[in-house]
Amino acid sequence: MPHEAARDDAGAHPVLVRMRAIRPELRPSEQRIADLFLADPAGTAGLSVAELAQRCDTSTTSVVRFCKRLGYEHVRELRNHVLRDVERETFDTAALPAVSGDIDRNDTLADIVAKVSLAETLSLADTAKVLDTESLRASVDAITSSTRVDIFGVGASSIVGLDLQRKLTRIGRTALDWSDPHAAWTSAATLGPGNVAIAVSHTGATTDTIEFLLLARQAGATTIAITNHAGAPLADQADIVLTTAARETGFRSGALGSRIAQLMVVDCIFIGVAQSNYDRSMEALRDTFAAVHRVRTAGA
């Protein structure tokens, strides 16, 4: 039953997180409903179906359809789970300054610090809840048994890919990061069984990144996607999908919440791979640290 599935999913996948995840797939009328909930969850949860429809310039039928899309049979169940999410977020951020709303042109630097720390704290907390440990284990196992790992992302996601490449290299893994799409595609086409291709994209809709994973999959490599949207086109080309739950501000071009959430996933992958051969990894980390330390000392 849809509403039972929603209840079962609520603990691991909070409803506000699911709204953000499926928003790109919704109809425009349903997106307006999601946006109202996400902007003011507690206030919106107190609205009747008719009031909600009026605020979003849509029909009550669209409101009901939106609820069913999230797995709820009745609007009151959605309201209850939204209020539960509000309580959880209040607990998760109890130690942070009380702020509300997106970053505004009149915000002070103190306001900006408070709002960025709030968004990133919630991005990490939500990602920890939605990150599937079985998929994470499958990723770690694939990388551990691979002979080569190719990584690709565009823009801010490329920074995350480079971070993973350097981490894996430090423990003796053969990992390649590609900043140029054509070079990435060329490399992906040469992959095969026993190799891994990792693509990083917040939206999961970046054409160059999708093409990279498609080519790698066609070549026989194990493909892994790190994205905020499990239903995105990138996920269709992935054998394993690792989902983040980032919160972006109006300064989306800065990739604030998405980058911090992706880096958390990358850290979990790296530690899992390192732990799979703990002694060898620790020795490699000591050796690489010593190599850098010697060079810096000699140049001092």
pLDDT tens, position by position, 255-268:
567 889 999 999 99
Per-residue pLDDT at 252 exceeds 70: no
Per-residue pLDDT at 214 exceeds 60: yes
Q: What percent of the chain stands above pLDDT 90? A: 60
Per-residue pLDDT at 295 exceeds 90: no
Reported pTM: 0.80
pLDDT of residue 100: 61
pLDDT of residue 270: 97
pLDDT of residue 105: 77
Per-residue pLDDT at 44 exceeds 90: yes
Q: What percent of the chain stands above pLDDT 70? A: 87
Please tell me which of 57-61, 99-103, 296-300 the model is most confident about, judged by mean pLDDT.
57-61
Lowest-confidence range among 75-89, 145-159, 196-210, 264-278? 75-89
Which domains are seen in the chain, by residue range?
Answer: 2-94 (1.10.10.10), 128-289 (3.40.50.10490)
Name the β-bridge partners of 177.
151
pLDDT of residue 272: 97
Q: Tell me the average pLDDT of the chain.
A: 87
Confidence at 168, pLDDT banded by 50, 70, 90 = very high
Mean pLDDT, rounded, for 161-168: 96
pLDDT of residue 1: 34
Q: How far is CA 5 from CA 10, 12, 18, 73, 131, in A?
A: 9, 12, 13, 10, 18
138/97: higher pLDDT: 138
Phi/psi region, residue 255 (left: phi>0; alpha: psi -120 to 50; beta: rest), is: left
The answer to whether the Cα torsion of 185, 187, 189, 191 is positive or negative is negative
Per-residue pLDDT at 5 exceeds 60: no
pLDDT of residue 182: 97
Per-residue pLDDT tens digits for 192-212: 999 999 999 999 999 999 999
Mean pLDDT, rounded, for 242-262: 73
Mean pLDDT, rounded, for 62-81: 91
Strand pairing report for 195-200 and 175-178: unpaired
